Structure 1
């Protein structure tokens, strides 16, 4: 499944292109952006595989967007959307690294052909990378590849009877012991090493691990098939007092520090419980070691975590612990950021109460709450913005590597949702105030009241009074009077109309009352104001 972003400042074109893509590739995850700035933010926060972008957009055009994106990602396929007669722009985009271009207006067959072309290009690139990154051929392992395969199937409880008989030749029955797993941070490896370089690193680290296990007892050490970030050690300790003695933990901690200093990599080690028969029970200790590694999500990476010493229940159904009303939605709709963050922190504490759940369960629960929050807030958000939020969160939340990261990421989305609600409400309020002002400018001469105008715009009088003042810094009465006085001044300056006629023309039924109000507001009577202008 690929992530596809459609960037176009014309809403109808944007939605039309997205719908055609969805028709031909229903499994693709779609994002939409109204300009280059929004597209760049989405592509920065989320992995985007394919982007369709218009050339001419406000705030940041398509060419500038491509330049920014090429600094971040070489693999993204960018398709330029251009109108006939602007091919020079498309040519420039291709020079900047765009994959191809399409001419507007688009038809469904144009999109279908381009999607097929993109699929072929991405698949060809994937195969090339796989061939170039063949780590297994680089492993200088003392254990033959077949034995690595055999041991991996054994620990995963996938070995058949024939394979178990072969395992018996490597691990005698009734031999007590335990399993520990050393795991690299994949993100660090990807940033620091090319595939060929990392092959040399893991060879060195495996050699060092053999020196670490030697004082503990006989051990088989190998990289887990299909995941060379995990170095597995099956150990039969020579001591009988404890499965893992204090000095053994200290030795492992020193090993972690040695790897950090030498290779700049963070290594975490998970230790399973001891078993009385490794041949039959090592898969159980292996699974516990994996659970101990999962626990680094809570305690931090770069540590030795012993399964026997953690309050962890990977089978805890944390989603069932999410209360029906978390208080987050109410706080968000009131735009109370502090209360929303407090409600989120309280929810996380509730989910962690007792034994900690698996990171996957916790992330699923947080994602569930955030997605539901977007759905109940959808009326206060742009529809495509709500869809973008959900698509981003479904990618970002499961990718969080620590509890602190998921807290910060969830806080980030709460703030962005509140920002979007505030922006839309402010825009809506500004439109209403503009309509109110236009109505008063057209009907100022009529017998207007706060109650009458409030009713016209479907507000209660009390709310409308507060709403109007907060957006104009004037009361309704002050604003209406200002319009009437301005109109009266112009009439006085422009002719010899009677004061009574002018008073009636600006909404006053009583000329004497008009004269008193005019003098209060200007310091001059209407006649004095007219004479002043003539002088």
Structure 2
């Protein structure tokens, strides 16, 4: 958790940026100040990791604050808030030691980008400070640092032939083997605290002892991903035997780690290589890919890459997206959820795409629904719904979690649409009445008009009657009969022709409705109209 200080003499800007950061980083602790002097006093009395400051402020401006802050604590990351007119001040601020700048008015995307950069820089510096300490601590049963470094280079495919040959003198690798990747499901289990090194050593020893029953193994942590441990396991030709026997050993290992260290681990098993120098990197890549597919299969288990049904799509576009849109516009939650379930089934019926690709596809699908609603009803979605789609959706760690959030987003979207419609109902009813006046001569029905205006027919029927005091069909008949009376004044118009011109395909039915509304037949009405 980082501590953030926001400095600006405009309260509305302070509140806006504070709310934005809280929505993006709920665990950050945020304070504020209205000028540079107040901000510097806060810095002297409190720990601050990130400072957002305006340029033009009373008493002490942003440039003076940067100089004072850097002299007092150079590790604080300073971000300048600059209006377009003060861009030259932002450039000066960068020269004075500011980390970055952001132009007003700020937006969530830019703030999120800045926070990621700052977070990365802080972690990088933190890692650098601990590096010398970590190197002095020897891991129990650890590989020499030089060789562990080269093993990392081997599996990432960047080792030279000279380095490989030198490493094999100390740790000979057989021509046949497999790379296994173990991932601690909470990535924070092994941060950069040197105090964890002893625990890491014990875990490496446990993994090595367990996997040695399958064959000779070398175990080491990834240098840039400390929540992952790699084992290069030598195997014989009996690969089927390995699969049958190793699952039980893997399960025992997972259970031991959980019981001894209270940590959950997932194991990704790569494909067999026949040349470690050229192919270990491929086996490692496949092991990491297997871990990703815990998203579908579940974690806390062993996942074999060659048993995965992986499919690759250029783009995930379901055929029934229009059906989903119509169900949302009709505010039919049950139907919308059923269609969304069908969409998931369709996208996954032939196998599993990359989890991130699936999430991107679902996010795009939901954004299309929102875009349709915003265009159709000239409305905006809530910040909560926006955060769910743009942030929370991409943080889902399993298919179950993704489905649950997707269904909730659809339900929330329909609730917001219902609220929007309730505010716009009088306007929509007027649009429907206008449409009837313009299209009375066509085959109008409640269902067709409801579909055109994105309403459930039953809902529209009740809404129309409440708003006009007559039901839909009665209103249509009144419009048609009114037009028919005008046409009957022209003797050249035959009754059966008028019937078709006002929307009745059956002349007898037209006469029946006309008599019901006017108390006489069309011909009688024409006769009396002439006398008048």
TMscore range, shorter length: 0.5 to 0.7
| 5+ residue gaps, structure 2 | 58-80, 102-113, 438-443, 451-457, 471-532
**1:237 is matched with which residue?**
235
The yes-or-no answer on 1:425 pairing with 2:421 is: yes
Q: Is the 8 A contact 1:175 1:276 kept in 2?
A: yes
Task: Determine the C-alpha separation between the residues in 2 that align with 1:466 and 1:414.
Answer: 19
The yes-or-no answer on 1:47 pairing with 2:24 is: yes
Task: Determine the C-alpha separation between the residues in 2 that align with 1:417 and 1:144.
Answer: 57
Q: Per the alignment, do residues 411 and 101 of structure 1 end up closer, same or farther by CA in structure 2, a change over 3 Å counting?
A: same
**1:108 is matched with which residue?**
83
Match of 2:217 among 207, 216, 219: 219
Task: Determine the C-alpha separation between the residues in 2 that align with 1:421 and 1:384.
Answer: 10
Q: CA deviation at 1:279?
A: 3.5
**2:522 is matched with which residue?**
none
Q: Per-residue displacement from partner, 1:250-295 (whole Å, max 9, x unpaired)?
A: 1221111122222222100011222333333222221221222122
Q: Per the alignment, do residues 344 and 169 of structure 1 end up closer, same or farther by CA in structure 2, a change over 3 Å counting?
A: farther
Q: Is the 8 A contact 2:154 2:277 kept in 1?
A: no
What's the Cα RMSD here? Answer: 5.0
**2:166 is matched with which residue?**
166
What is the TM-score when the length of structure 2 is the normalising length? 0.60
Q: CA deviation at 1:334?
A: 1.0
Which 10-residue stretch deviates more, 114-123 or 367-376?
114-123
Q: CA deviation at 1:324?
A: 6.7
Q: Per the alignment, do residues 426 and 302 of structure 1 end up closer, same or farther by CA in structure 2, a change over 3 Å counting?
A: same
Q: Per the alignment, do residues 475 and 466 of structure 1 end up closer, same or farther by CA in structure 2, a change over 3 Å counting?
A: farther
Q: CA deviation at 1:150?
A: 1.9
Q: Per the alignment, do residues 372 and 195 of structure 1 end up closer, same or farther by CA in structure 2, a change over 3 Å counting?
A: farther
**2:203 is matched with which residue?**
205
Q: Is the 8 A contact 1:32 1:388 kept in 2?
A: no
Q: CA deviation at 1:168?
A: 4.4
Q: Is the 8 A contact 2:174 2:234 kept in 1?
A: no
Q: Is the 8 A contact 2:187 2:227 kept in 1?
A: no
Q: Is the 8 A contact 1:32 1:384 kept in 2?
A: no
Task: Determine the C-alpha separation between the residues in 2 that align with 1:301 and 1:403.
Answer: 12
What is the TM-score when the length of structure 1 is the normalising length? 0.59
Q: CA deviation at 1:183?
A: 0.5
The yes-or-no answer on 1:402 pairing with 2:395 is: no
Q: Is the 8 A contact 1:133 1:196 kept in 2?
A: no
Task: Determine the C-alpha separation between the residues in 2 that align with 1:381 and 1:451.
Answer: 18
Task: Determine the C-alpha separation between the residues in 2 that align with 1:432 and 1:474.
Answer: 11
Alignment of 1:125-524 (within 5 A): 127=121, 129-132=123-126, 137-138=133-134, 140-141=138-139, 142-169=142-169, 172=172, 175-187=175-187, 189=189, 195-237=193-235, 240=238, 242=240, 244-313=242-311, 316-317=312-313, 319-320=315-316, 322-323=318-319, 325=321, 327-379=323-375, 385=381, 389=385, 392-429=388-425, 470=463, 476=469
**1:516 is matched with which residue?**
none
| 5+ residue gaps, structure 1 | 7-12, 19-30, 49-71, 436-449, 478-535
Secondary structure at 1:328 match in 2: helix
Which 10-residue stretch deviates more, 289-298 or 370-379?
370-379
Q: CA deviation at 1:302?
A: 0.2
Q: CA deviation at 1:304?
A: 0.9
Q: Per the alignment, do residues 254 and 110 of structure 1 end up closer, same or farther by CA in structure 2, a change over 3 Å counting?
A: farther
Task: Determine the C-alpha separation between the residues in 2 that align with 1:268 and 1:332.
Answer: 38
Secondary structure at 1:268 match in 2: strand
Q: Per the alignment, do residues 351 and 128 of structure 1 end up closer, same or farther by CA in structure 2, a change over 3 Å counting?
A: closer
Task: Determine the C-alpha separation between the residues in 2 that align with 1:369 and 1:125.
Answer: 31
Task: Determine the C-alpha separation between the residues in 1 that align with 2:348 and 2:462.
Answer: 47
Secondary structure at 1:186 match in 2: coil
Q: Is the 8 A contact 1:378 1:386 kept in 2?
A: no
Q: Per the alignment, do residues 210 and 334 of structure 1 end up closer, same or farther by CA in structure 2, a change over 3 Å counting?
A: same
Task: Determine the C-alpha separation between the residues in 2 that align with 1:127 and 1:451.
Answer: 61
Q: Per the alignment, do residues 173 and 468 of structure 1 end up closer, same or farther by CA in structure 2, a change over 3 Å counting?
A: closer
Q: CA deviation at 1:303?
A: 0.2
Task: Determine the C-alpha separation between the residues in 2 that align with 1:451 and 1:172.
Answer: 84
Task: Determine the C-alpha separation between the residues in 2 that align with 1:130 and 1:107.
Answer: 27
Q: CA deviation at 1:419?
A: 1.9
Q: CA deviation at 1:184?
A: 0.8
Q: Is the 8 A contact 1:312 1:356 kept in 2?
A: yes
